Amino acid sequence: MPRQDAMRALLAGIGADLQAYAELQVLLRDQFRAALRHKASELAAAAEAIETQVDAMQQRRAERVALVQRLVGETGNMAQAFALLKSTAREKMEADWASLEQAVIECKRLSKRNGDLLAEQYTIMQRVLHGEEQIYAPA
């Protein structure tokens, strides 16, 4: 693949991930609402949609790593790849990359929040179904 095509593919992948992370945020918010309402079918649908989205993003990440290696060598990084661009294009891609990093952080936060809620709900359900280990503290 020519370097110019590799760079185009790299930039397109970043753009696709920006859109995908925005969609993932919506899915994670949907999952949270379903968990709050104890809607098992909605939770299952959200989990499936999240898994599909994350799988696609993981594939693009692997492609991005390969493209960066193609452009700047085995130990290359995004900053080195962006340095190959002209200033206007470089500034835009650096801004897009920073936005992507922020979207990743936000999705991690939402995912942790969802996981914490689901874990708490599970703990409460276990208490309801099986009772407390000790209702009273030992004297």
35 close to 118: Cβ distance less than 8 angstroms: yes
Cβ neighbours of 67 (radius 10 Å): 24
Cβ neighbours of 50 (radius 10 Å): 19
What pTM, to 2 d.p., does this model score? 0.84
User: Residues 6-35, buried b or exposed e (16+ Cβ, 10 A)?
Assistant: bbebbbebbeebeebbeebbebbebbbebb
For the chain, give every domain's residue range: 3-129
Q: What pLDDT, on the 0 to 100 scale, is given for residue 124?
A: 84
Q: What pLDDT, on the 0 to 100 scale, is given for residue 134?
A: 61
DSSP string, 110-130: HHHHHHHHHHHHHHHHHHHHH
Q: In the chain, which stretches have pLDDT less than 50?
A: none
Q: What pLDDT, on the 0 to 100 scale, is given for residue 132?
A: 67
Fold of 3-129: Methane Monooxygenase Hydroxylase; Chain G, domain 1 (1.20.58)
